Structure 1
Amino acid sequence: MASGGGAGAVVFYPADRDLSAWCERHAAGSAPDRWPYGLDRLDAHLPRVTAKNFPPASPVTRVARRLAAVVPPMRRAGRPAGVTWDENAGSLLSTTNGLSARYSGVVWLTDSVARRGAAPFRTMRRAMRRMDGLWVLSDAQVAPLADFLGPGAPPVHYVRFGVDHDFFRPAPYPERPLVVSVGGDRDRDPETMLRAMATVRRARPDVDIVVQSKTTLAPPAGVTVIPYLTHVELRGLYARASVVVLATRPNLHVSGMTVGLEAMATGRPLVITRTPGMDDYFGGTSAAHLVDVGDADALGRETLALLEDPESAAAEGGLARAHVEAGFTTAHLAARIAGVIAGR
C-alpha cells in the first residue's frame, strides 16, 4: 500500500459538521481543539495540513460518486493525502479524486457487522478497501475489521484516542457531592446506570445525581436527566462532579472512552464498565474503577466507596489527570494518526 503525507494532508469533515462554526467556537473558548477530534494537531507532524467540508450531497454528486466507485481509486503523486475520522466520512473519501492516498478511522463498523452480519455492509466494505490505511480506536477491533475486509485490504492500525487536556482542565475537587454520567451513543446502558444511581440515592440521599442521556426511561427519585450539554456546560459539570460513572453494553469500539478521558483530564475518578479494549485506556491507573457489563450493584458500590472517602477520591483525581497527560491527549492521538499516514 502507498504511504502518504509527504505533500501534506487534507482533513475532510461531513457537510453537516460546520467546520467554520466549530473554529469560531474554539477561538471563543467554547469548543475543544481547533478542528473536531484534534486533527488540526496533525500539522505538528505533516506539512501543509488543511481542513474542509465535503460538499453537500446532490443528485450530481451522488451520480459522480457511484461512477467513481466502480473504477480503481486514482492516486496522484505530489498531491496531499486525504484523511477522515470515521467510516461514514471515509465512504465519501473513497471516491474523492485528486489525492495521493486516503486514510480513515473506523468506529462503529465492527460492532455493526458483529450484530447484523456482513451482508448489509458490502458497500462500506468496498469503500474501506479503497483506502490506503485504516485505524481503529480499540485493539479489539483490529482482527474483526481485517477479517471483514478480507485479503488485499489496507492495513488496520490500532490508534489510542485522546482528548483536549487544555480545554478539559483540572478543577478543584468539590465539597458538595455530585455524581455525573454523560453520553447517549448507541452502546450506552441507561437501564443499568439508572439502577445503579437508585442504589446510590438510597444509601446517600444527600448526593445530587445528573445523567446526560436521551433515554426515555423514568429516572429514580433524586436523579436529574438532561438530554444535551454544550462543551462548556459539559466542562462545568465535570468540574462540579465528585465522580463520573459510565455504563455501556457489550461493544468493541470502547464506548465511553471520550467521556472517561475528559472527566479524568478534569481531575475526577471514574467508574466505568469493562468492555473489550477498555483496559488499554483505563487499566493502567487506580483512578479508574472497572466493573462488569450490566452489573448495577458493582457500579453503585464503587461509586459509593468514592463518595464515602472524598480525600482518597480527590487524590485519585490527581492521578487521573496525570494518566491523561501521559498518553491520552489529542496531541498524542495526532502523532499516532500521522504515523499511520507516514507509513510508520
Structure 2
Amino acid sequence: MRAYLELSHGLHPAEWSSRHARGEVPDHWPYGLDRLANHGVQPIMRIPASSRVATRIGRAARHRLGGYEWVDAFRRTTGDVIFCWDEYSGVPAALRERRKPVITGVVWLTDEVDKTTAWFAKRALPRAARVWASSSAMIPRLERDWGVSKAHHIPLGIDVDFFTARPKTEESLVVSAGNDRHRDHHLLIRAVNKVPGARLEIATRLPIPQDYARTGLNEGQVRDLYQRASVIAIATTPNVHASGLTVTLEGMASGRPVVIPDTPGLTDYVENERTGLIYPAGDEDALAKCVHRLITDEDMAKELGAAARRKVEQHFSTELQAARLAELMLTI
C-alpha cells in the first residue's frame, strides 16, 4: 500500500531531514512517519506549496475559513490512501476526495473551536474512512458530537533515539514547555515558587514572566533542557485533547520523573507513583507537593524516571506509533 501524507503547517520532508541531521528535531520525517515503510506502507509526503503567492493565499484562507490547509488540499494526489496527521489537513482532504479513502487524526476539535471550524468539520469527518486521536477521552466525543461512526485511539509516539536518558546536570531544576491555549504556566510558576530551593524554566512563546521563559528553542535545545532538569512538570486548564502530552512523553523518554494534571487522555500515558505523579488539575498546592516530593527524594525521582523511560520504549515510541497507524491503513 502507498499512503499519500498530507501534513499541515508547511512541513517539508527534505527540510525536516536536514534539521534532524543537525540535531534540531526528532525523527527523519515529521512524527516519524517515514517509519511506516517498516510496516508494509510506502509513505509519500506531499511537498507544500512554497511560492509567495501560494503562501499569501494559504494564510488568508486559513484565517477566513476555519484554520484549514485549503491551498495544498486541492493539489493532485497519488497513492492508495490519503493520510492526514490532524484535522487542519484532514478536513479539506475528506471534503475533496471521492475515490481514495482518507484517514485523519484529530487534535483540537473536541475542545473549544469557532463556528466556521466546526461547520466544515461536521461535514467532513463522517466522510473519512478512519478517524483517530492520541487521547482516548476524545473518542466518545468524536462519535457523539462530530458524526464519526467509529473513532480509533492511537497512542502518540516519541523518538526514543533523539530523547535519551542521561544524568541530570542541575539540582532542583523544574522544566516545562508548551504553547497551546490550555497550558496554565502561571499556575505552575506559583506552585514551584512554593517549593524551597526549586527553580523553574519554561520553553514557551506564551506570555509569562521573563525570569522563567526560554524562547526560540528548537526541539534539540528543549531536549537539552530536559536533560538538565530534576523534574518535568505540566499544568493545564481542563481539556480532553491531552494538552501537554508531547512534553510528557519527551520528559519520560529523557528518563525524568513527570508531574501531570489528571486530565482525561493525558493519564493514558502516566501511571501514578510508578512512572510519574498525578495531581488534581488546577490544584496549585497539590502540584507543589508533588514537585517537592521529587526534588527531596532522589531515590524516588530516579526510580520513577527509569520506569518512565522503559514505559516509553515499550509502548510509546514512534516506531510503535507507525506500526499502529500502518495497521489502521491496511485494514481499510
Report the TM-score, using the length of structure 1 for normalisation: 0.83
Distance 2:295 2:277 in 1: 13
CA contact (8 A) 1:189 1:248 kept: yes
Higher CA-based Rg:
1
Q: Which moved more, 1:168-177 or 1:316-325?
A: 168-177
Stretches of structure 2 that go unaligned for 5 or more consecutive residues are 71-76
Distance 1:185 1:149 in 2: 22
Partner of 1:42: 36
Amino acid paired to 1:214: R
| Cα pair distance change 1:51/1:99, threshold 3 Å | farther
Residue 81 (structure 1) shift: 0.7
Distance 2:150 2:280 in 1: 32
Listed one character per residue, the Cα deviations across residues 43-86 of structure 1 (whole Å, up to 9, x for unaligned) are 111332221234446879x8xx9xxx9xxxxxx9x942111110
Listed one character per residue, the Cα deviations across residues 124-153 of structure 1 (whole Å, up to 9, x for unaligned) are 221222211110111111111111233xx4
CA contact (8 A) 1:132 1:155 kept: no
| Cα pair distance change 1:238/1:58, threshold 3 Å | closer
Residue 213 (structure 1) shift: 2.6
The correspondence of residues 261-280 of structure 1 with structure 2, limited to 5 A, is: 261-280=249-268
| Cα pair distance change 1:305/1:26, threshold 3 Å | same
Amino acid paired to 1:92: P
Listed one character per residue, the Cα deviations across residues 186-225 of structure 1 (whole Å, up to 9, x for unaligned) are 111122111112112xx22xx4321223333436xxx522
Distance 1:319 1:174 in 2: 20
3-state SS of paired residue (1:262): helix
Partner of 1:4: none
Amino acid paired to 2:105: G
Residue 288 (structure 1) shift: 0.9
Listed one character per residue, the Cα deviations across residues 79-113 of structure 1 (whole Å, up to 9, x for unaligned) are 42111110001123224558631110000001125
Listed one character per residue, the Cα deviations across residues 298-320 of structure 1 (whole Å, up to 9, x for unaligned) are 11111111111223212221111
1:187 aligns with 2:182: yes
Provide the aligned C-alpha RMSD in A.
2.7
Residue 120 (structure 1) shift: 5.6
Distance 2:184 2:241 in 1: 15
Identity rate, percent: 34
Distance 2:279 2:82 in 1: 39
Listed one character per residue, the Cα deviations across residues 226-272 of structure 1 (whole Å, up to 9, x for unaligned) are 23321111111111000111001110111111101101101000111
CA contact (8 A) 1:79 1:99 kept: no
Partner of 2:194: 199
| Cα pair distance change 1:104/1:57, threshold 3 Å | farther
Stretches of structure 1 that go unaligned for 5 or more consecutive residues are 1-6, 70-75
Would you say how many aligned residue pairs link Structure 1 and Structure 2?
A: 314
3-state SS of paired residue (1:110): coil
Report the TM-score, using the length of structure 2 for normalisation: 0.86
CA contact (8 A) 1:14 1:53 kept: no
Distance 1:218 1:270 in 2: 23
| Cα pair distance change 1:285/1:35, threshold 3 Å | farther
Amino acid paired to 1:107: V
Amino acid paired to 1:161: L
Amino acid paired to 2:277: H
CA contact (8 A) 2:12 2:48 kept: no
| Cα pair distance change 1:209/1:127, threshold 3 Å | same
